[in-house]
Structure 1
Amino acid sequence: MNSNSNFKTPLPTGEGPEVKLLKQYWGYDAFRGIQEDIINSIAEGRDTLGLMPTGGGKSITFQVPALAKEGLCLVITPLIALMKDQVQNLKKRGIKALAIYSGMSRQEIIVTLENCIFGNFKFLYISPERLDTEIFRTKLQKMKINIITVDESHCISQWGYDFRPAYLKIAEIRKLLPGVPVLALTATATPEVVKDIQTRLHFRKENVFRMSFERRNLAYIVRKTENKTGELLHILRRMPGSAIIYVRNRRRTKEITELLHNEGITADFYHAGLDDATKDIRQHRWQTGESRVMVATNAFGMGIDKPDVRIVIHMDLPDSIEAYFQEAGRAGRDGQKAYAVVLYAKSDKATLHKRIPDTFPEKDYIKEVYEHLQYYYQMAMGDGQGCVREFNIEDFCRKFKYFPVPVDSALKILTQAGYLEYTDEQDNASRLQFTVRRDELYKLRELGEDMDKLIQTILRSYTGIFTDYTFINEDSLATRTGLTRRQVYELLIHLAKLRIVSYIPRKKTPYIIYTRERVEMRHLQIPPAVYEERKERYERRIAAMLDYVTNDTVCRSRILLHYFGEKNEHNCGQCDTCISLRNKKKACSDELFNKELSENICQLLNVHPLTPAMLSEKISVDKDILIKTIHELLDKGQIISVNGMLQKKA
Structure 2
Amino acid sequence: MTTPHTSALSVLKQVFGYRTFRPGQESVIEHTLDGQDTLVLMPTGGGKSLCYQIPALLLPGLTIVVSPLISLMRDQVDALKVAGVAAELLNSSQPKEQQIAVLNALHEARIKILYVAPERLMQADFLHRVQEWDVQLFAIDEAHCVSHWGHDFRKEYCQLGQLKQLFPAIPVMGLTATADLATRRDILIQLGLQNPFIYQGSFDRPNIRYSQLLKFKPQEQLQKYIATQEGSGIVYCNSRRKVDDVAAKLAAQGINCMAYHAGMESDMREYVQRAFIQDRIDVVVATVAFGMGINKPDVRFVVHVDLPRSIESYYQETGRAGRDGLPAEALLLFDEKDVAKIRQWISENDNPERQAVELQRFAAMHALAEAQTCRRQVLLNYFGEYNAKACGNCDICLDPPRQFDGSEIAQKVLSCVYRLKQTSDSDYVVDILRGKKLAHIVDAGHDQLTTFGIGHDSPDAYWHNVINQLIHQGLLRVDITQRAVLKLTEAARPVLKGEQTVTLAVPRLTMDWQQRAKPERRFYDKRLYARLKHKRKQIAERDAVPPYVVFSDQTLMELADVTPESLTEMLAIYGIGQTKLERYGQEFLDAIQTYLAEG
Q: What is the DSSP-based 3-state SS (H/G/I as helix, E as strand, rest coil) of the residue aligned with 2:399?
A: helix
CA distance, structure 2, for counterparts of residue 346 and residue 533 of structure 1: 26
| Equivalent residues of 1:117, 1:143 under 8 A apart | yes
Following superposition, the deviation at residue 72 of structure 1 comes to 0.4
For each residue in 1:502-522, what CA deviation from the matched residue of structure 2 results, as whole angstroms up to 9, or x when unmatched? xxxxxxxxxxxxxxxxxxxxx
- Please give the residue correspondences for 1:165-564 in structure 2 after superposition, counting only pairs within 5 Å: 165-358=155-348, 360-361=349-350, 531-551=351-371, 553-564=372-383
- Please give the residue correspondences for 1:58-69 in structure 2 after superposition, counting only pairs within 5 Å: 58-69=48-59
Following superposition, the deviation at residue 165 of structure 1 comes to 1.1
Residue 387 of structure 2: which of 565, 568, 581 is its match?
Answer: 568
Hey, what does 1:440 align to over in structure 2? none
Following superposition, the deviation at residue 171 of structure 1 comes to 1.6
CA distance, structure 1, for counterparts of residue 187 and residue 370 of structure 2: 31
Q: What is the DSSP-based 3-state SS (H/G/I as helix, E as strand, rest coil) of the residue aligned with 2:105?
A: helix
User: Is the alpha carbon distance of 1:289 and 1:84 closer, same or farther for their aligned partners in structure 2, counting shifts above 3 Å?
Assistant: closer
CA distance, structure 2, for counterparts of residue 265 and residue 80 of structure 1: 29
| Equivalent residues of 1:114, 1:139 under 8 A apart | no
Which amino acid letter does the alignment assign opposite residue 316 of structure 1?
Answer: D
Following superposition, the deviation at residue 345 of structure 1 comes to 1.5
Following superposition, the deviation at residue 141 of structure 1 comes to 1.0
Q: Percent identity?
A: 39
| Equivalent residues of 2:44, 2:320 under 8 A apart | yes
Paired residues, what number?
Answer: 402
| Equivalent residues of 1:141, 1:176 under 8 A apart | no
CA distance, structure 2, for counterparts of residue 289 and residue 66 of structure 1: 31
Following superposition, the deviation at residue 19 of structure 1 comes to 1.5
User: Is the alpha carbon distance of 1:47 and 1:15 closer, same or farther for their aligned partners in structure 2, counting shifts above 3 Å?
Assistant: closer
| Equivalent residues of 2:144, 2:176 under 8 A apart | yes
CA distance, structure 2, for counterparts of residue 45 and residue 274 of structure 1: 44
Hey, what does 1:527 align to over in structure 2? none
CA distance, structure 1, for counterparts of residue 195 and residue 5 of structure 2: 29
Which amino acid letter does the alignment assign opposite residue 540 of structure 1?
Answer: Q
Q: What is the DSSP-based 3-state SS (H/G/I as helix, E as strand, rest coil) of the residue aligned with 1:239?
A: coil
User: Is the alpha carbon distance of 1:108 and 1:173 closer, same or farther for their aligned partners in structure 2, counting shifts above 3 Å?
Assistant: farther
Which amino acid letter does the alignment assign opposite residue 153 of structure 1?
Answer: A
301-310 vs 159-168, greater mean Cα deviation: 301-310
CA distance, structure 1, for counterparts of residue 141 and residue 216 of structure 2: 39
Which amino acid letter does the alignment assign opposite residue 278 of structure 1?
Answer: M
CA distance, structure 1, for counterparts of residue 66 and residue 356 of structure 2: 30
TM-score (norm 2): 0.64
CA distance, structure 2, for counterparts of residue 349 and residue 249 of structure 1: 14
Residue 400 of structure 2: which of 578, 581, 605 is its match?
Answer: 581
| Equivalent residues of 1:117, 1:144 under 8 A apart | no
| Equivalent residues of 1:54, 1:187 under 8 A apart | yes
Which amino acid letter does the alignment assign opposite residue 65 of structure 1?
Answer: P
CA distance, structure 2, for counterparts of residue 106 and residue 283 of structure 1: 24
CA distance, structure 2, for counterparts of residue 547 and residue 100 of structure 1: 42
Which amino acid letter does the alignment assign opposite residue 240 of structure 1?
Answer: E
Following superposition, the deviation at residue 234 of structure 1 comes to 2.0
CA distance, structure 2, for counterparts of residue 258 and residue 285 of structure 1: 17
User: Is the alpha carbon distance of 1:577 and 1:251 closer, same or farther for their aligned partners in structure 2, counting shifts above 3 Å?
Assistant: same
Q: What is the DSSP-based 3-state SS (H/G/I as helix, E as strand, rest coil) of the residue aligned with 1:85?
A: helix
Which amino acid letter does the alignment assign opposite residue 565 of structure 1?
Answer: G
CA distance, structure 1, for counterparts of residue 282 and residue 230 of structure 2: 9
Q: What is the DSSP-based 3-state SS (H/G/I as helix, E as strand, rest coil) of the residue aligned with 1:349?
A: helix
1:99 and 2:99 aligned: no
Q: What is the DSSP-based 3-state SS (H/G/I as helix, E as strand, rest coil) of the residue aligned with 2:11?
A: helix
1:126 and 2:139 aligned: no
Which amino acid letter does the alignment assign opposite residue 181 of structure 1?
Answer: P
Hey, what does 1:32 align to over in structure 2? 22
Q: What is the DSSP-based 3-state SS (H/G/I as helix, E as strand, rest coil) of the residue aligned with 2:400?
A: helix
| Equivalent residues of 1:113, 1:136 under 8 A apart | no
For each residue in 1:456-478, what CA deviation from the matched residue of structure 2 results, as whole angstroms up to 9, or x when unmatched? xxxxxxxxxxxxxxxxxxxxxxx
Q: What is the DSSP-based 3-state SS (H/G/I as helix, E as strand, rest coil) of the residue aligned with 1:581?
A: coil
Hey, what does 1:18 align to over in structure 2? 8
CA distance, structure 2, for counterparts of residue 344 and residue 323 of structure 1: 16
| Equivalent residues of 2:5, 2:26 under 8 A apart | no
Structure 1 unaligned segments of length 5 or more: list them. Answer: 1-12, 362-530, 587-650
CA distance, structure 2, for counterparts of residue 143 and residue 290 of structure 1: 40
Following superposition, the deviation at residue 276 of structure 1 comes to 4.7
| Equivalent residues of 1:54, 1:330 under 8 A apart | yes
40-49 vs 214-223, greater mean Cα deviation: 214-223
Greater relative CO, 1 or 2 (CA 8 Å, sep 6+): 2
Which amino acid letter does the alignment assign opposite residue 544 of structure 1?
Answer: A
Following superposition, the deviation at residue 277 of structure 1 comes to 4.1
CA distance, structure 1, for counterparts of residue 70 and residue 62 of structure 2: 20
210-219 vs 39-48, greater mean Cα deviation: 210-219
CA distance, structure 2, for counterparts of residue 257 and residue 160 of structure 1: 30
For each residue in 1:379-423, what CA deviation from the matched residue of structure 2 results, as whole angstroms up to 9, or x when unmatched? xxxxxxxxxxxxxxxxxxxxxxxxxxxxxxxxxxxxxxxxxxxxx
Residue 113 of structure 1: which of 71, 87, 103 is its match?
Answer: 103
CA distance, structure 2, for counterparts of residue 241 and residue 88 of structure 1: 22
User: Is the alpha carbon distance of 1:574 and 1:94 closer, same or farther for their aligned partners in structure 2, counting shifts above 3 Å?
Assistant: closer
For each residue in 1:523-542, what CA deviation from the matched residue of structure 2 results, as whole angstroms up to 9, or x when unmatched? xxxxxxxx443322111101
Which amino acid letter does the alignment assign opposite residue 261 of structure 1?
Answer: A
Q: What is the DSSP-based 3-state SS (H/G/I as helix, E as strand, rest coil) of the residue aligned with 1:102?
A: coil
1:42 and 2:32 aligned: yes
User: Is the alpha carbon distance of 1:17 and 1:238 closer, same or farther for their aligned partners in structure 2, counting shifts above 3 Å?
Assistant: closer
Which amino acid letter does the alignment assign opposite residue 572 of structure 1?
Answer: C
CA distance, structure 1, for counterparts of residue 123 and residue 280 of structure 2: 41
Residue 72 of structure 1: which of 51, 62, 77 is its match?
Answer: 62
| Runs (4+) off by over 6 Å | none
Hey, what does 1:460 align to over in structure 2? none
CA distance, structure 2, for counterparts of residue 336 and residue 27 of structure 1: 18
Hey, what does 1:384 align to over in structure 2? none
| Equivalent residues of 2:257, 2:282 under 8 A apart | yes
Which amino acid letter does the alignment assign opposite residue 281 of structure 1?
Answer: Y
For each residue in 1:543-600, what CA deviation from the matched residue of structure 2 results, as whole angstroms up to 9, or x when unmatched? 001111122x211111111111101111112322223326x479xxxxxxxxxxxxxx
For each residue in 1:414-473, what CA deviation from the matched residue of structure 2 results, as whole angstroms up to 9, or x when unmatched? xxxxxxxxxxxxxxxxxxxxxxxxxxxxxxxxxxxxxxxxxxxxxxxxxxxxxxxxxxxx
Q: What is the DSSP-based 3-state SS (H/G/I as helix, E as strand, rest coil) of the residue aligned with 1:16?
A: helix
Following superposition, the deviation at residue 108 of structure 1 comes to 4.8
CA distance, structure 2, for counterparts of residue 535 and residue 15 of structure 1: 46
CA distance, structure 2, for counterparts of residue 14 and residue 166 of structure 1: 35
Which amino acid letter does the alignment assign opposite residue 58 of structure 1?
Answer: K
| Equivalent residues of 1:51, 1:186 under 8 A apart | yes
Which amino acid letter does the alignment assign opposite residue 535 of structure 1?
Answer: Q
